[in-house]
Copies of this chain bind each other. A is one copy, B any other.
Amino acid sequence: MFVRTIEPAFYDTDALGHINNTRLPAWFELARNDLFRLFTPDLDPRQWRLIMARMEVDFRAELYYGSDIEIRTYLSRLGNSSFTVTQEAWQEGKLTNVGHAVLVQFDHQAKRAVPIEGALREALEAHLQPLEEPVGA
């Protein structure tokens, strides 16, 4: 599991006085940087090997500007060429959001999925932490 702290900016808020819902997919992408480094160690976009197939975010409680947010990131499923990243947002001890992103190892030139094998597969398995409940189903 990877753990990150995000400090909200004023522009992350909306007129309801809380963090706008569209910021969660953005923060979750930022927090996937650790995972991205397993695929592309120097994060060079020209060597990018991933594409998003699906995202889900549950909103269980509101997030606010003015205190840090902890993002926990782990794999909840590892398939042949795709995997599910589960991410949690916590603020002041409360779980506010759970997100699932289905990512696919992808050859952006050939526009096709690529199996996850060898050392990369082992590196991902080290962050695999199956959910007790089925994901999005």
- Seen from chain A, the residues whose Cβ lies within 8 Å of a Cβ on chain B are 7, 9-11, 13-18, 20-22, 25-26, 29-30, 32-33, 36, 42-46, 48, 51-59, 65-66, 108, 136-137
Could you tell me the distance between the alpha carbons of A135 and B111 in the complex, rounded to whole angstroms?
28
On chain B, the residues within 8 Å of A57 by CB distance are 54-56
B65–A54 CB distance below 8 A: no
Q: In the complex, what's the smallest C-beta–C-beta distance from A49 to chain B, in angstroms?
A: 11
Question: Would A45 and B16 be within 8 Å (CB), given that A7-B30, A9-B29, A29-B9 are in contact?
Answer: yes
Could you tell me the distance between the alpha carbons of A65 and B48 in the complex, rounded to whole angstroms?
12
From B15, B22, B42, contact of A22 by CB (8 A): B22
B10–A29 CB distance below 8 A: yes
B22–A26 CB distance below 8 A: yes
Most-contacted residue by chain B among A7, A17, A137 (CB, 10 A): A17
From B15, B25, B56, contact of A15 by CB (8 A): B15
Question: Would A46 and B17 be within 8 Å (CB), given that A29-B10, A55-B57 are in contact?
Answer: yes
Could you tell me the distance between the alpha carbons of A26 and B53 in the complex, rounded to whole angstroms?
17
